[in-house]
Structure 1
Amino acid sequence: MVKSGKQARRSGTLADSPSHLMHRVLQLALDIYAEEAGDGGPTQRQFAVMEAVSVRSGLTQTDLVKATGIDRSTLADLVARMTTKGLLARQRSSLDARAMAVSLSAEGQALLEAARPRVEAADKRIMGLLPKAKREGFLELLGELAASADAAPEQARAEAKALKKAQKEARKAEKSAKKAAEPVKKARKVKKLRTAEPVA
């Protein structure tokens, strides 16, 4: 028998799974984006990289990871391919000689400018699927989720640091406890030896 209403929600169906629903919505958004961008347009990730670089030229790949949310290895591959295509240019960062600063090439700038109205059309189509009264709240919720995603690596580092510190303190306390127990053990050993000595 199929359950309905609140009982169905408690059963953990796909219809009530945030991760599943977000995955489906992402697929829909990417399909709409691909239709609007067309065959010659940039992918959604390429657009995100170009837009981030256009806002602040000279970003390092670490900066781009933070700005776009694309993971480090994917971004490195993406930037390499976009550089080969002539959309991006890379040079040593003036702030950090070990890092490469990324900037838009003239070709990349032209592609970005051509893509912006198409991306805007895709965004309008996506938002058009929602009632007008819910659109602003939807964007706010997406912003909150994105902020949580941005904070996750920092939070994970902070938690790892706190765990390491707690483990170090626990080892220190354990050593202190062992050290404090040594005189008691020695005293017991001496007492045991004395009681074990034969009576003359």
Structure 2
Amino acid sequence: MKAKSSSAAADPETSFLEGQSGFYIRRLHQIAAALFMEHTADFGVTPIQFGVMMTAREHPEIDQRTLAQMVRFDTSTIGGVIDRLERRGLIRRNASPSDRRVRLLTLTEEGEKLLDQLIPHAIKARESVLEPLPAPQREAFLTMVKTLVDAHEAIGESGLSEAA
């Protein structure tokens, strides 16, 4: 049976994706990551590396598993991220005094300095993402996104890495 051709399928203004929230959420994530990389290019840090460093700063001596849960990445993926930060001398893994199998994470002095330099650029990246919205709507947008994430959090718990 021959499929019907539809001019609507070829028209991006009326395509099925036009009405799909997931398409726009994924696209906004791509844009946000690209803007972050643009604003922070001189530092060579990815958005997830930034998130790991900020979480390690805010929670000194955090274990790797808890950090992975906090940044919503699976433990094997976060291990690679931490490996790269450790090789750069930005984060240090220490054995837990109570359980030698557990690794506690600490930002190094170099990591602290880099983060201090990086934060203003990360803020500019966030502002660039939100800039098209009128100022009063920016906070409302973030509140709505957080509401959606919180409401659906359990769904994403089983697959914390991004699907390809």
Q: TM-score range by the shorter chain?
A: 0.7 to 0.9
Is contact 1:41-1:111 (8 Å) kept? Answer: no
- Is the aligned partner of 1:113 residue 2:116? yes
Alpha carbons of 1:52 and 1:84: their partners in 2 closer, same or farther (altered >3 Å)? same
Deviation at 1:149, TM superposition (A): 5.6
- Is the aligned partner of 1:15 residue 2:18? yes
Where in structure 1 are there 5+ consecutive unaligned residues?
157-200
Q: Tell me the percent identity.
A: 27
In the alignment, which residue of structure 1 is the partner of 2:4?
Answer: none
**Structure of greater relative contact order (alpha carbons < 8 Å, 6+ residues apart):** 2
Give the whole-Å Cα distance in 2 for the aligned partners of 1:148 and 1:64.
Answer: 21
Q: 1:111-148: CA deviations, max 9, x gaps?
A: 11110000001111111121223212211122123334
- Is the aligned partner of 1:78 residue 2:81? yes
Q: Letter of the 2:137 partner, please give it.
A: K
Q: Letter of the 2:107 partner, please give it.
A: L
Q: Within 5 A, what are the aligned runs for 1:116-131?
A: 116-131=119-134
Superposed CA RMSD? 2.1
Is contact 1:57-1:103 (8 Å) kept? Answer: yes
Alpha carbons of 1:108 and 1:19: their partners in 2 closer, same or farther (altered >3 Å)? same
Q: Letter of the 1:93 partner, please give it.
A: S
Give the whole-Å Cα distance in 2 for the aligned partners of 1:89 and 1:114.
Answer: 19
Where in structure 2 are there 5+ consecutive unaligned residues?
1-6, 159-164
Give the whole-Å Cα distance in 2 for the aligned partners of 1:79 and 1:152.
Answer: 25
Scaled by the length of structure 1, the TM-score of the pair is 0.67
- Bigger helix share: 1
Aligned-partner SS, 1:20: helix
Q: Which is higher, the Rg of structure 1 or of structure 2?
A: 1
Which has the higher mean CA deviation after the structures are superposed, 77-86 or 36-45? Answer: 36-45
Q: Letter of the 1:33 partner, please give it.
A: F
